[in-house]
Structure 1
Amino acid sequence: MDLSRVIKLFEDQFSRELIERQVRVLKKVAKHYCNGIPLKDLAQIIQILNICAERIEDHKDYIDPMCDILKLCGLPFLKEKTSDELTYAQAVAESLALIGCMMRVPSSQVRIQLCNSIINFYSPEPVKQQVEGFHPTGVNYKLQMAEVGGLAETLILSMPVVENQLREKLSLLKVLQLLSSSPENCKLMAKAQGASRICFRLSDPDPSGQLLFRSSEILWNLLENGPKEEIISQLSNTECIYALKESFVRLLTNGYKHYDRQLRNDILVITTLLAENSTSPFIESGFAKQLILFATFSEVKSHSPLVKSLKLHNHEDFEMKKLLFNMIVVLSKDSSAVQLFSDGKVVLALFNYVKANEKARIHDWPAARFEDLQLHAIATLSTIAPLLLEDYMTCQGNTRILLFLEWCNKQDSFSGQGNCFHGVGGRGNKHAQMRYSLRLLRSVVSIGDETVNQDLCDQGAINQLLGILKKIVNSPEGNEDAILLEIQIDILFILSALCENDLHRKDLFGSEGVDLLLQLLKMDFSKYYSGLGHNRLIFCTLDCVWCCVIGCFSSEDYFLEKDGMCIILDLLALNFKTMNNLLLGILVEFCDNPKSLSHITTWRGNKNETSAKLLIEMWKQEELELGVQRDQYGRIFDVQKPLAGHLQESQGITPLPANFFSIAVMEVSENTRAKIYSVFCRLGFENLPGLSLGLCDSQDNK
């Protein structure tokens, strides 16, 4: 078939009005290429279709033959040679882009057929018979050419044409749903503001429910496969948030099918991703307030008509409940949401789950699901409670947690399922419950509010925590289980925070606490790098020595009697760079106790080295690393700057505000040599055992 003559028939001034003849020719073209369009002819066929598209408003007779030809575009294209795919690649890409432009044709039949043809790109109809001399193109060829031609962008831009035509809109969304499985297409759709264009129409009326399903699927694909930040930015406007809000509320209050509940949860996931963007107007739109209501209505009574007849009982409702807890954590990043949490009694609702599991049957949740919600609620409280300390104290938060910890520490018939994310390591025990309760207590204590901390101590928290710690430390798995190690770390942190600046609390910590610290300090140093958390445990133990022992004479004396100073020096002799500063700081503080000096001077290391020799060696090592210069006799090269090395000289002079510590002051506070010098000021600089003349020369020059 000579397509040039067909084009001339449409364009020639003498034949362009011969509509009947042109329709007959179009039908012949459709019949001739019924088994597929050769790549070499595709550009001319698309040209013919474009000519028809321009005249179709005046000549409806073109509609049927156009649809027949468009249907052929859904078949695999044909090639004579393998090289044809590359030779005609540019022409094919441009042709597919022009096909997308035909969505603007004012014909519902043409638009729907166009969408069906593009859908066939993904599952092409089988060719009826092979054409001699031709072979079908590869399965992915059309998809690649559609990406190159920007078909997805063209179709997004055509959405306003079909927004009032439900059937055509659904066909177009089905196409976009398929196209959005490709990252390249997602980039093209994002370029055309596809996310916002689709989300705007999310709550349009649709009896079939397909519009909401396909739109949410496209948004999900765009977030997963496309430029996520750009997509979130497009969706972070009032119109999109309102559309999501209306869709979610409608599905929650009126959706009774399994399909509706799944779709509701999908929209909530998309909403959560948007809420992570601080610019999203969730507070202003009222969506945040509604989400808080839905998250807490089953624990806190509400008179809102939205939840009057709402019941949660199946698996999708369970998943939604967890998503809503997660949404509360996400919203907490916005300080303006804190008042909404207080008004919605979020802390009280979450504390409903901080209770012994054997009596818990809230809303008839099965035991495994309740455990999951319980752990999730406590984890959520860890984020929310520090923001709402007044609500926390009103709900008697400290009492609830301590009672729950007492239950966690008991031996009874309960055993955790350990099936959920937060329940890791909690199968057959209560470790998960204890772990998250202590994490909650840690987050509250770390705020440093004296009212909260004093209330904890008044209720015997120090003795209770020491009892839990003792039980774990003495258990066979306490040193080998990552969860138990984390529990020990959190207990030590809480004790440090409570006792740091209070002498009475240090007295409560007492000898029982010192014994536990010494037991932990004797840990095999080879475990520090096990990956389970022993390195964090030793640091928290040393911090606890500093906060809970130093400053209390009775505890200090007991620590020294139990050879605690020797253990500290043994650890210092290991010469771990990350630990040396903390150990030296403890050594300096202990030197204020006169009884400690004899312990320091009598200590001997593995190679019979003395503490003085150890400190001098550390001094020399520090100088070597900092690049402090000495002459051939070991004297400081620049006596005007005896502490300066290459590091200090390279920093130069940096102007700082008056309320900032200078770099020099900060450097001294973290400087190993400053702490070593402080120790020698208490030990003295003469007649120290274990020092040779060479070592003393190095010391004298200081």
Structure 2
Amino acid sequence: MATETQFAPRVSSQNPTQTLTTSKPRIPIVSHTITDDDLGILQGAKLQPMNLTRVAKLMTDPHSSMLYDRHIHALRKLPKHYKQGFLMKDLVLVVKILNVCADRLEEQPMYTEPMCSILDICRLPFLKEKTSDETSYERIAIESVSQLGYLMRVPSNDIRKKICAALISFYCETPPPQVVQKHKANSLSYNQRIVESSDLSETLVKSLALLENDLDVRLEVLKVLQQFSKRSAKNCDQMLCADAASRLCCRLMDPDPSGELLFRSVDVLWNLLEYGQKENAIEQINDMTCISQLRDAFIQQLTQGYSHYDRQLRNDLLIIASLIAQVCPQAPFVETGFVRQLTLFATFQEVKSHSALVRHLKLMTSHEDFELKKLLINILTVLSKDPCVVPLLSEGRLLLALFSYVRPNENTSLPRDWTPAQFEELQLCAMASLATLVPFMVEDYMMCQGSTRLLLLMEWCTGEKGKFNGYGNAFHGAGGRGNKRAQMRHCLRLMRSAVSTGREVVLQDLVDQGAISEINTILRGYTENDSSTEDAIDVEMQCDMLYILSTLCDGDMHRKELFSHEGVDIVCKYLKTNPVKLSSGLGHHKLVLATVDCIWCAIVGCYVTEDYFLEKEGVFLLIDLLEVCPTNMHNLILGCLLDLTENPKAIPHINAWRGKDDMSAAHLFCDIWRSEEREMGVQRDQQGAIADTSLPLTGQLQANQGVIPLPASCPSQAIVDVSENMRAKLYALFCKIGFMHLPGLTVEDYVTLAIIEKYMDFKLGEVWSEVITELDAEGIRPVTPDQEAIETISRAIVDRADSVVGTQKDMLLSQQHQSLMEEQEHYAEIRENHRQKEKAINDFADFVARTSNYSLLKAARERQELSVDASRVQNRYQDAETFHELDLANLNTTAFSGRQIMIDSTPVELTGGPLAKYDSKKGTLKSRTFQMA
């Protein structure tokens, strides 16, 4: 705070620009600045900095470099002046003094005490005079912190420990209040940013090589690394640049009575894997030495650790090993014997072993032991990716141990057994692992009678409800609280994994055990229940069951017969799924695809099931689905329809189908063909006809890639195109249903149908064009007969395309003529309507004239009689003596007389009808009233 009083000469208000005249004496400006220091209100200690330049010169000057007593005296004064921390502007000199002391320490141990005192001050944040000092001296602060790490070269344990303590305080601890006059301490976040920007972490890791025989200092360095690696990706990456993971892991089992070395090393490794580049860290650990150290540390903690801390550390070691196995499947777990021992520890409870390692080992129901069991199952599942591991797992009878959990759950347990909740979680974890392991260990699966166990568990899952309610814990138990859905879900996943191997022995075993009928029964229950309550898990289980049925019945007539009418009824109900559900996000699109696949594998090919499927209008349902489903489902449905048309009874169903707006199946197929060609970028004109006769089928991608010479064993673009789109299936379908007399086709459809009919010819021409182009690209000239054949083929290709184009033009021209004729007929109808209206007007005018003029009526009567006489064939009979007149005499009407006559009277709307004059109250007619105009 300061107050200032100023006295200045007064300028005339009339002429502000007028300068002061020399006649008046100039009054000097007197400024009085009163500071907080003058008033005595400054808070905090007053910093009295030393002249560090003189101290540095005293220690480095050749004339005074040997004055050790003066050096020590000056160094001891330095901490007294900087009790609250060093100024940022003095950091360069402080570091210089420390380096001079460090260089002389080996010859003069007397520098140890002053260095320790100075390092004690380094634990405090740096002091700044201005806020801008943080930016101005940031580079200096980073270099200064880095120099502290370089001081680890000093061969003094006391100094090394002081450095570690100072770094921990500087980086982690919130400093005590530093109230210094005219100075302010840096924040903790600024200190952390300075450390992350320096190379301090890398230097400390490298210093571990100097401390291999000094356990105490090594532990202190590990403490610092432990703090630096917490939630700091920059520090972790710097440490990994110095091979921190390898340096720490290869010395895990160094002698340490306290056990602190293993704990802190594992903690740093964990931080490196979590916050650093995991792949880089694991790559450093991926060697024989590190894996052996991990193995020994894990076995020691498992067999000799009994405390809660030992169990947690044991689990952490196993998680690190799991991460290594996941990222590096080829890590030397087999070579080090780690896999064999892990298999032993994972199975010793379920499979008896005489190994000395597990003779006195017991796993309790504590949380740590429970997690260990799950981790052991998990790491063995991850390691099974390596083919060399599978024989060791089979030798250790891992599948037998895991299948011991594939059994019905119980609500109670013995005191030393897993609790029901723990058993359920282990059961689900075991089945998830079995789903991965069974394809690699089919023989073990059969030896364990896996199919029988799975079907028994499935029967229990669908049995009486209420006896067991799941807990739904952990990841695998999702959706299983209060029910058995989690067990059912993983049981089906395991069965799906088993049948996906395609091994006949597995498939036959499941069929012999009655899997088809049991799954049909379960699916029938789903179709009979309300589908609005289904969630993603229910849909997933139904998909798995349909996939299992497809795999079991594929290619075997007897199994398709076992699928029977019951299975056909089920898939027909699934085909009636509301199309709106396909985009619900619950997976109904997968369910529809699984249904079509089940039809293809379990129904098509067996006349018994095919006929019943046709009887249940299955073809209609398939085409209904084809009409509304997304484009990416068309290929599968068309393939199923194509195989179904091998049965001649299916073709009338296809021709009889009608969709929205009375659309026929042939029209739908043509529409799909056009959409497929639009997506491919095939050149067509506005009417859908061929635009380029040289490339009638080629899409944009194929045209851009061009023709590349390939070996004979590699398919060319024209051949690959057959399987990459649906045009070949559509062509085959039309070959089945025919190209003529198809109902419901438009002219555009006929234009498209002309291309479809010649698809095979165009495709052959496309292949020949590729052959010719490849020969030209390779510079090969065929012999003269072959050259003539090639020229003939080339002309035939163009002629065939021109013929189709001509046919398409004729169709379009006929359609244009037909449109013109229909237009003329429409206009003729309009003209006839106008003529009839004019005739009606004239007839009415003539009628009015006859009724209003008697002479006109007589003339009309005469004309009518003449017209009647003229219409007769002969009129001689009128001259006979007995001729009787047919007309009434003196009848002045032009209408032919008869017993009844229709008279156009005044409309009822005007008269009010016969009761208009009736008075309902009196029962008499109302009197007539006249209104004067």
TM range (shorter): over 0.9
Is 1:5 the counterpart of 2:43? The answer is no
Deviation at 1:492? 0.7
Is residue 106 of structure 1 aligned with residue 155 of structure 2?
yes
RCO (CA 8 Å, sep 6+): is it higher in 1 or 2?
Answer: 1
| Pairing partner for 1:365 from 402, 418, 421 | 418
Alignment of 1:9-24 (within 5 A): 9-24=58-73
Moved more, 65-74 or 606-615: 606-615
Q: 2:596 aligns with which of 536, 539, 542?
A: 542
**Is the contact made by 2:154 and 2:160 (CA closer than 8 Å) also made in structure 1?**
yes
Structure 1 residue 127, shift from structure 2 partner: 4.5
Q: Secondary structure at the match of 2:661?
A: coil
CA shift digits 1:1-23 (9 cap, x unpaired): 11111112212223222222211
Q: 1:332 aligns with which of 384, 399, 414?
A: 384
- Residues 1:547 and 1:411: Cα distance change in structure 2 (over 3 Å): same
Distance 2:656 2:403 in 1: 54
Consecutive unaligned residues in structure 2, runs of 5 or more: 1-49, 758-933
Structure 2 counterparts to residues 599-638 of structure 1, below 5 A: 599-630=653-684, 635-638=689-692
Confirm or deny that 1:136 pairs with 2:189.
Answer: no
Residue 683 (structure 1) shift: 1.6
Q: 1:445-524 maps to which residues of 2 (within 5 A)?
A: 445-476=499-530, 480-524=534-578
2:277 corresponds to 1:192: no
Q: Is the 8 A contact 1:325 1:380 kept in 2?
A: yes
Aligned mate of 2:91, from 33, 42, 55: 42
Q: Does 1:251 align with 2:297?
A: no
C-alpha displacement of 1:624: 2.8
Distance 1:200 1:630 in 2: 69
Q: What is the distance in 2 between the residues matched to 1:625 and 1:663?
A: 17
Equivalent of 2:368 in 292, 298, 316: 316
Q: Secondary structure at the match of 1:418?
A: coil
Report the secondary structure of 1:121's partner residue: helix
Cα deviation, 1:632-679, whole Å, max 9, x if unaligned, reads 775423445432232332232244554444443332234322222222
Take 1:300 and 1:128, find their aligned partners in 2: how far apart are those partners? 63
- Contact 2:553–2:560, Cα closer than 8 Å, also in 1: yes
- Is structure 2 residue 334 aligned with structure 1 residue 265? no
What SS does structure 2 have at the residue aligned with 1:421?
coil
**Corresponding position of 2:448:** 395
Which one of the candidate residues 154, 160, 163 is aligned to 2:212?
A: 163
Query: How many angstroms apart in 1 are the aligned matches of 2:715 and 2:377?
Result: 42
Over 3 Å counting, the alpha-carbon distance change for 1:538 and 1:656 in structure 2 is farther
Q: Aligned residue for 2:834?
A: none
Q: Deviations over 1:602-633 (max 9, x none)?
A: 11112111112212222222233333334577
For residues 167-205 of structure 1, the C-alpha deviation after alignment (integer angstroms, 9 at most, x for no partner) is 111111000001112111111111111111111211112
Question: Of residues 606, 612, 618 in structure 2, which corresponds to 1:558?
Answer: 612
Residues in 1 aligned to 2:239 and 2:470: alpha-carbon distance in whole angstroms = 47
Structure 2 residue identity aligned to 1:493? Y
Question: For residue 444 of structure 2, what is the amino acid of its counterpart?
Answer: D
CA apart distance, 1:147:
2.0
Give the structure 1 partner of residue 817 of structure 2: none
Find the partner of 1:284 among 331, 335, 339.
335
Between the aligned partners of 1:685 and 1:630, the Cα distance in structure 2 is: 21
Which residue is equivalent to 2:816?
none
What amino acid sits opposite 1:279 in the alignment?
Answer: Q
Rg bigger for which structure? Answer: 2
Whether the aligned pair in 1 keeps the contact of 2:596 and 2:637 (CA below 8 Å) is yes
| Equivalent residue number for residue 487 of structure 2 | 433
Match of 2:741 among 675, 684, 687: 687
Deviations 1:37-61 (A, max 9, x none): 1001111111111111111122222
Distance in 2, Cα, partners of 1:327 & 1:126: 44
Superposed displacement of residue 129, structure 1: 5.2
Q: Residues 51-90 of structure 1: matches in 2 within 5 Å?
A: 51-90=100-139
- Percent identity of the aligned residues? 50
User: CA 1:58–1:527 in 2, change beyond 3 Å: closer, same or farther?
Assistant: same
Question: Match for residue 843 of structure 2?
Answer: none
Query: 1:98-137: per-residue Cα shift (whole Å, max 9, x none)?
Result: 1111112111111111100001023446446522211101
1:366–1:633 distance in 2 versus 1, CA, 3 Å:
closer
Residue of 560, 582, 586 corresponding to 2:636:
582
Q: Please list the CA deviations of residues 534-584 of structure 1 after superposition, one character each: whole Å capped at 9, or x if unmatched.
A: 011000100101000000111111011111111111111125211111111
Instruction: Please report the RMSD computed on the Cα atoms of aligned residues, expressed in angstroms.
Output: 1.7
Task: Go from structure 1 to structure 2 and tell me whether the alpha carbon gap of 1:659 and 1:496 turns closer, same or farther (over 3 Å shift).
Answer: farther
Partner of 2:276: 226
SS of match in other structure, 1:410: coil
Change (3 A) 1:676 1:52: same
Please say if 1:378 is aligned against 2:431: yes
Contact kept? 1:74, 1:125, Cα under 8 Å: no
Mapped partners of 1:143, 1:381: distance in 2:
48
1:298 to 349, 368, 374: 349
> What is the distance in 1 between the residues matched to 2:375 and 2:178?
53
Return the letter of the residue paired with 1:612.
A
Query: What SS class does the counterpart of residue 649 from structure 2 fall into?
Result: helix
1:74 touches 1:124 (CA, 8 Å); kept in 2?
Answer: no
Paired amino acid for 1:348: L
Q: Tell me: CA distance 1:632–1:197, structure 2 relative to 1, closer, same or farther (3 Å).
A: closer
Match of 1:570 in 2: 624
Distance 1:405 1:289 in 2: 33
Output the CA distance in 1 between the equivalents of 2:451 and 2:713. 37
User: So what's the TM-score if we normalise by structure 1?
Assistant: 0.97
Residue of structure 1 equivalent to 2:585: 531
Residues 44 and 463 from structure 1, CA distance in 2 versus in 1: closer, same or farther, beyond 3 angstroms? same
Contact 1:472–1:478 (CA under 8 A) maintained in structure 2: no
Partner Cα distance (1:233, 1:402) in 2: 44
**For residue 409 of structure 1, what is the aligned residue in structure 2?**
462
Q: Which residue is 1:348 aligned to?
A: 400
Partner SS state of residue 284, structure 1:
coil
Residue 549 of structure 2 aligns to a residue in which SS?
helix
Structure 2 residue identity aligned to 1:301 = K
| Offset, 1:416 | 0.6
Question: Counterpart of 2:363 in 1: which secondary structure?
Answer: coil
1:75, 1:124 within 8 Å by CA — same for their partners in 2? no
After superposition, the Cα gap between the structure-2 partners of 1:101 and 1:349, relative to the gap in structure 1 and judged at 3 Å, is same
After TM superposition, give the deviation of residue 520 of structure 1 in Å: 0.6
Q: How many residues align?
A: 702
Residue type matched to 1:287 in 2? F
- The residue identity in structure 2 corresponding to 1:288 is V
- Asked if the contact 2:172–2:227 (Cα under 8 Å) also holds between the matched residues in 1, the reply is no
Q: More displaced, 129-138 or 285-294? A: 129-138
Unaligned 5+ runs, structure 1: none
Cα distance per residue 1:348-394 (max 9 Å; x no partner): 01001001112884851111010000000010000111101111111
Q: Equivalent of 2:289, from 236, 239, 250?
A: 239
Alignment CA distance shift 1:630-1:241 (3 Å): closer
Q: Is the 8 A contact 1:36 1:127 kept in 2?
A: no
Given candidates 236, 239, 257, the residue that maps to 1:207 is 257
Greater Cα shift, 247-256 or 683-692: 683-692
Distance 2:562 2:408 in 1: 28
Q: Secondary structure at the match of 2:640?
A: helix
Deviations 1:252-299 (A, max 9, x none): 001010011011111111111111212321111111111111111111
